[in-house]
């Protein structure tokens, strides 16, 4: 069976070296990561198998990590993860969603078999894929093991991208530009919202002539009319676009699991003055904030710069205005590390990728215009080339 | 703001009544459900906001449940959940992915405000959306509260569908048939895998002339060649179909979050004899098993019937052969209740929906041919009309 990992083994070893340094600093001898993005980051494993328990185990004094998962998925690990076959462990189907036993019983036995059950164990306490029961069973089965919270330990390593990762993110950016243009071209008065969204999801997968896209960690968010007054609703499958609809577009391109998010807004008709004013305020604030972003400044200073641009305009934005992004699986393309908001004192470094996303959701409608940027040695660089404006469309 | 819940309030009240009966039987006075499918089932709430903490609280002696989530998502709850505005609570963004505080601090305060902090609290211990940290913080903040495991309590109520739910599942079946036909029509030697998958995802959203589709809880699984030797890999974004490829298709249609899954297999060329024999064995076993499925039989008896059909054929299938399905969000369209496998003694009832899914993954390739069925008063009924066979395609 030929390996089809995305990166050379040396790239995974580089990542593992940094993770082991962070483990040592945190007093963690063995790390259990169950976040599918972290599993992919450390091994290359890529399958839609995360609805059952699985994970990667990093051992402080062993070179290769261990993958475990459902037996029927283990060939997928042999194909996509860089490690040799003897580091891949499949468990029988009796463990799947069982009320008689639990996959963490299997994992405790595996840690014993690997001879590391007595070492301090780092687990991702606050992760979608690490349930309360998983911790309970591990504690019961490993009564002498010390547990240390390793939430976001790998996520923070992921936050600074290598040149080869940035190359894939630029490919995702090319897909993203096509996806956004497809959306804007598809939205017209009288068109069924479902048909516009169908064009968008097809563009996400078709990618460019040179390379294909992949499934997004967040499905296209493209609400219209009153549904734009809130975050995270999407299209109405039974509605057609109407005159004077606002349509929010929160979309992305994906390449090798690297995401490139982008938001824009479309108005169907002649936009009312208050929407035009909001758009001007946001776009001007966005541009001034991007000029400020550079290595050495803090996440909260970026937010403060943005907030300063709003002073006296009447526009308010009480939620965070951005976050770190990159390699992801559902349900989130954010990395859950840096947040652009008061209190986040993370100092920006070259290689970080931030989605500056000042979404405004008012009583009757919203406005979004965002930029994904790469922190460079001297400032920041837009990943995507797409006009920063309120788009207007008419239709048949 | 007009409500746009999918069902009449009476349907949600019916579901809540059964959930409260199950709560009483389990000694649970207050139920906290964080599974997005369960939140939707009990209230109608529908948004891609589940990457932050949110939930629905059901109180044993109060009619309406409480929704809590991020403030910027609360208008989405006002639009899509059936309850009045005063039962919808938004928390400030400072709680989002915070290392200083935690959303469960907010939830503990909310339970106090609602006057139910002293009651026994049911939580979904083994759910993607209930992390180990969430339980730790709730226990710390509510030291006098008794916690009871409510994993799958709502899921089991969901398992028996009402007539109006079945109506939506039939609509999902119409979409599913189009999606599968689109896939088979798109796959030809020389076609880029990404372009075939783009057609499939577009068909999932475009739905039928009458109604639109929605985002799937599992992205199309459509691996080719060696990638078919394992479960849960998908298309290769940089490959074109080659002569003698096997392509597995594990797809679905979705309507109002109700899923309709279906698997089929395509061979590009003249299939080898061993694949034809495997296909004949699986299809024949599938048909004989469907004849057996009826109310009153157990889940494990269904699997035993299937296994009996394989005797002497050389085909082996060591994993479970199906599961309950219906209303879902990522990462799984299964309900995580019934599994068709030895040891599952669930007695089948009318209104249950099972995906009979005998996936075979051999050393060099796999074969899949599944059927989603509804348990009726006298037997079972196929949701989908689609030929049960190995499909062959050639191409340019």
The tens digit of pLDDT for each residue in B224-245 reads 998 888 889 999 999 999 999 9
Residues of A in contact with B225 (CB under 8 A): none
Provide ipTM, 2 decimals: 0.97
Number of residues that this document lists for chain A: 396
Of B204, B230, B318, the CB nearest to A93: B318
In this complex, do B205 and A203 lie within 8 Å of one another by their Cβ atoms? no
Check pLDDT > 70 for residue B396.
Answer: no
CATH topology of domain B9-158: Creatine Amidinohydrolase; Chain A, domain 1 (3.40.350)
Q: Does domain B161-393 have CATH number 3.90.230.10?
A: yes
Residue B107: strand pairing partners: none
Question: How many Å apart are CA A268 and CA B234, to the nearest integer?
Answer: 37
Least confident residue range of B41-50, B93-102, B383-392:
B93-102
Q: What is the 3-state secondary structure (H, E, C) of chain B?
A: CCCCCCCCHHHHHHHHHHHHHHHHHCCCCEEEECCHHHHHHHHCCCCCCCCCCCEEEEECCCCCCEEEEEHHHHHHHHHHCCCCHHHEEEECHHHCCCCCCCHHHHHHHHHHHCCCCCCCEEECCCCCCCEHHHHHHHHHHCCCCCEEECCCHHHHHHHECCHHHHHHHHHHHHHHHHHHHHHHHHCCCCCEHHHHHHHHHHHHHHCCCCCCCCCCCCCCECCEHHHHHCCCCCCCCCCECCCCCEEEEEEEEEECCEEEEEEEEEEECCCCHHHHHHHHHHHHHHHHHHHHCCCCCEHHHHHHHHHHHHCCCCCCCCCCCEEEECECCCCCCEEEEEECCCCCCCECCCCEEEEECCCEECCCCEECCCEEEEECCCCEEECCCCCCCEEEECCC
Residue A14 Rama label (left phi>0; alpha psi -120 to 50; beta): alpha
Domain boundaries, chain B: 9-158, 161-393
- In this prediction, residue A316 has a pLDDT band, given cuts at 50, 70 and 90, of confident
Chain centre to alpha carbon of residue B190: 33
Question: How many Å apart are CA B234 and CA B247, to the nearest integer?
Answer: 10
Question: How many Å apart are CA B319 and CA B341, to the nearest integer?
Answer: 8
pLDDT of residue A207: 98
Question: How many Å apart are CA B147 and CA B67, to the nearest integer?
Answer: 20
Of B71, B206, B330, the CB nearest to A331: B330
In this complex, do A72 and B359 lie within 8 Å of one another by their Cβ atoms? yes
- Minimal C-alpha gap between A87 and chain B (Å): 17
- Minimal C-alpha gap between A54 and chain B (Å): 12
- Coil, strand or helix at A89: strand
Of B128, B319, B343, the CB nearest to A131: B128
**DSSP string for residues in A165-190:** HHHHHHHHHHHHHHHHHHHHHH--BT
Structure-token match 């590391």, residue found: A116
In this complex, do A47 and B79 lie within 8 Å of one another by their Cβ atoms? no
Percent pLDDT > 90 in chain B is 92
Angle at B333 between CA B329 and CA B338, to 5 degrees: 125
- Coil, strand or helix at A146: coil
The tens digit of pLDDT for each residue in A140-189 reads 999 999 999 999 999 999 999 999 999 999 999 999 999 999 999 999 99
Residues of B in contact with A79 (CB under 8 A): 226-227, 229-230, 233
The tens digit of pLDDT for each residue in A355-390 reads 999 988 877 778 999 999 999 999 999 999 999 999
The tens digit of pLDDT for each residue in B1-48 reads 567 789 999 999 999 999 999 999 999 999 999 999 999 999 999 999
In this complex, do A75 and B361 lie within 8 Å of one another by their Cβ atoms? yes
- In this prediction, residue B317 has a pLDDT band, given cuts at 50, 70 and 90, of confident
Return phi, psi of residue A156, to 5°.
-70, -35
- In this prediction, residue B274 has a pLDDT band, given cuts at 50, 70 and 90, of very high
Question: How many Å apart are CA B44 and CA B7, to the nearest integer?
Answer: 7
- Minimal C-alpha gap between A76 and chain B (Å): 6
The tens digit of pLDDT for each residue in A77-88 reads 999 999 999 999
Q: What are the Cα distances from residue B165, in Å, to A65, A296, B5, B329?
A: 45, 55, 14, 16
Going by their DSSP bridges, the two strands B66-70 and B88-91 should be labelled as parallel
Question: How many Å apart are CA A241 and CA B122, to the nearest integer?
Answer: 43
Question: How many Å apart are CA A2 and CA A177, to the nearest integer?
Answer: 34
In this complex, do A1 and B226 lie within 8 Å of one another by their Cβ atoms? yes
Q: What are the Cα distances from residue B371, in Å, to A29, B8, B263, B299, B300?
A: 47, 30, 8, 15, 17
pLDDT of residue A359: 86
In this complex, do A93 and B48 lie within 8 Å of one another by their Cβ atoms? no
What is the mean predicted confidence (pLDDT) over B339-349? 97
In this complex, do B202 and A207 lie within 8 Å of one another by their Cβ atoms? no
Chain centre to alpha carbon of residue B297: 23
Question: B interface mutation test: which of A98, A331, A361, A363 has the most B CBs within 10 A?
Answer: A331
Check pLDDT > 80 for residue A89.
Answer: yes
Question: How many Å apart are CA A134 and CA B195, to the nearest integer?
Answer: 40
Tokens of A345: 């004192």
Question: B interface mutation test: which of A131, A195, A300 has the most B CBs within 10 A?
Answer: A131
CATH code given to domain A163-393? 3.90.230.10
Structure-token match 């036993």, residue found: A101
In this complex, do B76 and A215 lie within 8 Å of one another by their Cβ atoms? no
Percent pLDDT > 70 in chain A is 99
The tens digit of pLDDT for each residue in B214-223 reads 999 999 999 9
Tokens of B295: 């109310």
Tokens of B314: 């050389």
Cβ neighbourhood burial of A2 (10 Å; 0-12, 13-18, 19+): exposed
- Coil, strand or helix at A111: helix
């Amino acid at each position: 069976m030929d390996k089809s990992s995305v990166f050379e083994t040396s790239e995974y070893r580089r990542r593992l070296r940094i993770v082991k340094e962070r483990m040592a600093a945190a007093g963690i001898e063995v790390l259990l990561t169950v976040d599918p993005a972290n599993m992919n980051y450390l091994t290359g494993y890529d399958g839609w198998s995360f609805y059952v328990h699985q994970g990667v185990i990093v051992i402080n004094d062993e070179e290769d990590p261990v993958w475990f998962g459902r037996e029927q998925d283990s060939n997928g690990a042999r194909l996509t993860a860089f490690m040799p076959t003897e580091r891949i462990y499949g468990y029988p189907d009796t463990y799947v969603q069982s009320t008689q036993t639990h996959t963490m019983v299997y994992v405790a036995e595996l840690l014993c078999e690997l001879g590391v059950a007595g070492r301090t164990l780092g687990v991702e306490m606050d992760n979608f894929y690490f349930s309360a029961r998983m911790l309970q069973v591990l504690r019961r089965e490993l009564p002498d093991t010390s547990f240390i919270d390793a939430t976001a330990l790998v996520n923070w390593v992921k936050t600074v991208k290598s040149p080869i990762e940035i190359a894939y993110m630029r490919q995702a950016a090319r897909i993203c530009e096509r996806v956004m243009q497809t959306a804007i071209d598809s939205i017209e008065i009288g068109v069924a919202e479902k048909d516009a969204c169908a064009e968008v999801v097809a563009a996400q997968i078709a990618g460019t002539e040179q390379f294909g896209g992949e499934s997004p960690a967040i499905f296209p968010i493209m609400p219209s009319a009153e549904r734009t007054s809130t975050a995270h609703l999407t299209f109405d499958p039974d509605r057609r676009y109407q005159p004077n609809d606002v349509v929010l577009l929160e979309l992305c391109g994906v390449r090798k699991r690297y995401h490139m998010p982008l938001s824009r807004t479309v108005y169907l008709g002649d936009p009312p003055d208050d929407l035009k004013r909001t758009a001007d305020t946001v776009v001007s604030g966005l541009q001034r904030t991007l000029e400020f972003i550079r290595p050495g400044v803090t996440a909260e200073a970026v937010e403060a710069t943005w907030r300063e641009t709003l002073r006296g305009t009447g526009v308010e934005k009480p939620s965070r205005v951005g976050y770190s992004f990159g390699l992801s699986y559902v349900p989130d393309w954010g990395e859950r590390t840096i947040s652009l908001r008061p209190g986040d004192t993370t100092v920006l470094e070259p290689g970080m990728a931030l989605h500056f996303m000042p979404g405004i959701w008012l009583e009757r409608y919203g406005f979004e215009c965002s930029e994904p940027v790469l922190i460079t040695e001297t400032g920041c660089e837009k990943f995507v080339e797409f006009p920063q404006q309120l788009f207007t469309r008419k239709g048949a």
